[in-house]
Chains A and B, each alone.
Chain A
Amino acid sequence: MDFQRQMIALYTVARKEVVRILRIWLQTIVPPVITMTLYFIIFGNLIGRRIGEMGGFDYMQYMAPGLIMMSVITNSYGNVVSSFFAAKFQGHLQEMLVAPMKSYVIILGHVTGGIVRGLAVGAVVTVVALFFTRLEVQNPLIAISILILTAIVFSLGGMINAIFARKFDDVAIIPSFVLGPLTYLGGVFYTTSLLPEFWANVSAFNPILYMVNGFRYGMLGVSDIDIVTAYIIILAFVVLAFGTCLYLLSRGIGIRE
C-alpha cells in the first residue's frame, strides 16, 4: 500500500477515534472538567487563600497550569488505553491488523485521538480556570508545544499499557499506582524549591515534573526546570515510547498469538 493510501488509513483511524470521543462526550469531556473545577474550588479558592503566594504568583494562578497539564496527561493516556484495549478486548482491533496498514499508522491514528481529547479537556479546564483567576500566556508557542508533546508521550504510554493489558484491571493499575502519584508529585501544586534537598533531587527523576514546569514556563514565565532540559527530556520520552509501541505492534506482542 503506497504512502497516499497509508495516509487515508491514518485519517480513518484518527477520525474513528475523534468520533468516539464526541459520541461519548459525557464520559470523555465532562467528568475531568468537573474534577478540575472541584480542585479549583477546594485547593485554589478555599485552601489557596490561606497559602498566599507561590513562585511570585497567587496560589490559584500558580496552580492553574499544573491542573491544565494534569488533565491533559490523564485524558490523553486514558483515551488511548481505553479505546485500544476495548478494540483488543472486543476483537475489532483485528479490522486494523488484517488490513495492509503500517504499524506506525495504527499508532499515529490512536495518538491523534489522545491528543485531541487531551487538548479538548485542557481547553475546557482553561476556560474553567478563567472563572477563578486571571491567566496570562507568556510564551504561547512553548505552552502549546509542551502540551502537545506531553499528550503524545502519554497517548503512547496508554497504548503500551493497552497492548500488555489482558483484563480491565490491567488498564486501571498504571493510572492508579503510577500515573496518579507521579502527577501529584510532579509539581502540579507546589514548587520543588519548597522541598528538602533530598526530595527535590528525587523529584528530578519524575518526568512529569519537566512537563508541568515546561508548561508553567510557557504560561507564567517561571519554572523549577530549565526549559531546554524540559524539551530534551520530553522529546526523549516521545522517541522512547514511540519506538516501544512500534516494536510491540510490529512483533505482534500482546495482540497476536
Chain B
Amino acid sequence: MSALSLCNLTKTYANSITALQAIDLEVEEGDFFALLGPNGAGKTTAIGIVTSLVNKTSGSVSVFGHDLDTDLAAAKACLGVVPQEVNLNQWDNVHNCVLNQAGFYGLARKHAGERTEIVLRELQLWDRRDETARNLSGGMKRRLMIARALVHEPRLLILDEPTAGVDIEIRRSMWAFLRQINEQGTTIILTTHYLEEAENLCRHVGIIDAGRIVEHDRMSAVLRKLHQEVFVLSLTDIVPSSLSLDGFDYQVVNEHEIEVEVHGDRNLNQLFEALSQAGVQVSSMRNKTNRLEELFMRLVDRRDKELTERIAEPEMRL
C-alpha cells in the first residue's frame, strides 16, 4: 500500500513562481524515503501541500489511501510532521508543547499524558519537561519537535531537514532513533542537505530539482549509476616525481597525498596492484566525495548546462 501518493501535483504561487511542475511520487508503506534537492527545488512546498499548510494548484495527494480533497481529516490523522523551521510555542514548557499536540489530535487527557511521557523519555527530554521551550538548545528543540510529531503515533512521519544545525553526536543519536521507529513500522520521509544522512538511512530516494522529480529509485540503484569515485591516498613516503599508475589518472594533492580516480570498469585490487608495481606504500585511504552528493551535483549540473544551452541557442541563430 502507498503511504503517500502524489499525482500530477502542481503549485504556482501568487507571484507566478511555479514551485512544483506536475510531479508524481509514490512512497510505499514502511519505507524510509529521502526527498533531496537544492534550495528552492520544491521539497518544502511538496511537504507543505501534503500537510495541508500550502494550497495546491492542481493534482492530487493521498495519504494511506485517504485523498486530501475528500478525506482530509483521516489523511491528517495518519501524518506527523517535523517542519524545517522551529515552530514551537516558545513560552510553553516542554511537557505542554507535546501534551497540547496530543489534545489537538483528540487523544483523551489520560492517554495524552501517557504518550507524552513515552515520547519525551524516548527523546531524552523527560528530565527537561518543565523547561520553557525557548530555553532549550537547538538540538533539544529539534528533538522536541520530533516528540511532538510522534505523540499521536502517526503512520507516516515527515521530517523536513530535522538535523539542520545539530551537532554530529546528537545527529547520530537521532538517526538511531529514526531507524528504530522505522523498524517498528512508521513510514518516514526525510528531506535533508546532509546527503550522507540520506545515504545512511534511506532505502529509496527522490531527487527534485526546479519543481520536477529528476530521479526516483532505490538508493542502491541510484548509487550504482555513479561510474567513478575519487580516493585520497596518504603515502608513507614522498610522492615520486615520475609516478605512473597503470590505467589510473591521479593528481598530487601535496607531497604525501594523491587523489586517484577509479572508474566503473576498474576496481581497487587493480589500483593496489598498480601502486605496488610503482613501489608506493599506502598508509591510509579515504573516499573523497560522498557518492550521493556526487550524483546530486551531476544531476543539477546537467540541468544547469541544459538551461545554458537553451538560453544560448537564439544567440547562435543570430
Interface residues of A (CB under 8 A from B): 1-2, 4-6, 8-9, 11-13, 15-16, 19-20, 23, 87, 90-92, 94-102, 252, 256-257
Identity of the chain A residue whose Cβ is nearest the Cβ of B77 in the assembled complex: A100
Identity of the chain A residue whose Cβ is nearest the Cβ of B50 in the assembled complex: A98
Identity of the chain A residue whose Cβ is nearest the Cβ of B111 in the assembled complex: A8
Indicate if the CB atoms of A99 and B53 lie closer than 8 Å.
no
Q: What chain B residues lie within 8 Å of A96 (beta carbons)?
A: 104
Indicate if the CB atoms of B52 and A97 lie closer than 8 Å.
yes
- A99 shortest CB reach to chain B, Å: 4
Q: Is B87 part of the binding interface, using a Cβ–Cβ cutoff of 8 Å?
A: yes
Indicate if the CB atoms of B73 and A98 lie closer than 8 Å.
no
Indicate if the CB atoms of B106 and A100 lie closer than 8 Å.
yes
Q: Is B181 part of the binding interface, using a Cβ–Cβ cutoff of 8 Å?
A: no
Choose among A1, A15, A87 the residue that contacts B89 (Cβ–Cβ < 8 A): A87
Q: A-B pairs with the 3 shortest C-beta distances? A: A5-B106, A12-B103, A91-B87
- B219 shortest CB reach to chain A, Å: 28
Identity of the chain B residue whose Cβ is nearest the Cβ of A4 in the assembled complex: B106
Indicate if the CB atoms of B55 and A100 lie closer than 8 Å.
no
Question: Can you identify 20 A-B contacts, CB atoms within 8 angstroms?
Answer: A1-B77, A2-B106, A4-B106, A8-B103, A8-B107, A9-B103, A9-B105, A13-B103, A16-B96, A87-B89, A90-B89, A90-B90, A94-B53, A94-B83, A100-B72, A100-B73, A101-B104, A101-B106, A256-B55, A257-B53
Q: Is B260 part of the binding interface, using a Cβ–Cβ cutoff of 8 Å?
A: no
Identity of the chain B residue whose Cβ is nearest the Cβ of A99 in the assembled complex: B104
Choose among A92, A100, A256 the residue that contacts B105 (Cβ–Cβ < 8 A): A100
Indicate if the CB atoms of A9 and B106 lie closer than 8 Å.
yes
> Chain A's interface: helix, strand, loop or mixed, by majority?
helix
- A21 shortest CB reach to chain B, Å: 12
Q: What chain B residues lie within 8 Å of A100 (beta carbons)?
A: 72-74, 76-77, 105-106
* Interface footprint category on B: 20 to 34
Q: What chain A residues lie within 8 Å of B81 (beta carbons)?
A: 98
Q: What chain B residues lie within 8 Å of A2 (beta carbons)?
A: 106
- A167 shortest CB reach to chain B, Å: 18
Indicate if the CB atoms of A94 and B91 lie closer than 8 Å.
no
The distance in angstroms between the C-alpha atoms of A125 and B83, with both chains bound, is 43
Indicate if the CB atoms of B51 and A95 lie closer than 8 Å.
no
Identity of the chain A residue whose Cβ is nearest the Cβ of B87 in the assembled complex: A91
The distance in angstroms between the C-alpha atoms of A12 and B51, with both chains bound, is 21
- B55 shortest CB reach to chain A, Å: 5
Q: What chain A residues lie within 8 Å of B107 (beta carbons)?
A: 8
**Chain B window 53-91, contacts with chain A (Cβ cutoff 8 Å), 1 for yes, 0 for no:** 111000000000000000011101101010101111111
Q: What chain B residues lie within 8 Å of A4 (beta carbons)?
A: 106
Identity of the chain B residue whose Cβ is nearest the Cβ of A251 in the assembled complex: B55
Indicate if the CB atoms of B79 and A92 lie closer than 8 Å.
no
Q: Is B316 part of the binding interface, using a Cβ–Cβ cutoff of 8 Å?
A: no
Q: What chain B residues lie within 8 Å of A98 (beta carbons)?
A: 51-53, 76, 79, 81
Q: Is B281 part of the binding interface, using a Cβ–Cβ cutoff of 8 Å?
A: no
Q: What chain B residues lie within 8 Å of A87 (beta carbons)?
A: 89
Indicate if the CB atoms of B53 and A97 lie closer than 8 Å.
yes
- A91 shortest CB reach to chain B, Å: 3
- A15 shortest CB reach to chain B, Å: 8
Indicate if the CB atoms of B77 and A257 lie closer than 8 Å.
no
The distance in angstroms between the C-alpha atoms of A92 and B104, with both chains bound, is 12
Identity of the chain A residue whose Cβ is nearest the Cβ of B73 in the assembled complex: A100
The distance in angstroms between the C-alpha atoms of A97 and B74, with both chains bound, is 14
- A249 shortest CB reach to chain B, Å: 12
Q: What chain A residues lie within 8 Å of B182 (beta carbons)?
A: none
Interface residues of B in 80-118 (CB under 8 A from A): 81, 83, 85-91, 96, 100-101, 103-109
Q: Is B143 part of the binding interface, using a Cβ–Cβ cutoff of 8 Å?
A: no
- A95 shortest CB reach to chain B, Å: 6
Q: Is B48 part of the binding interface, using a Cβ–Cβ cutoff of 8 Å?
A: yes
Q: Is B177 part of the binding interface, using a Cβ–Cβ cutoff of 8 Å?
A: no
The distance in angstroms between the C-alpha atoms of A99 and B52, with both chains bound, is 10
Q: What chain A residues lie within 8 Å of B76 (beta carbons)?
A: 98-100
Q: What chain B residues lie within 8 Å of A99 (beta carbons)?
A: 76, 101, 104-105
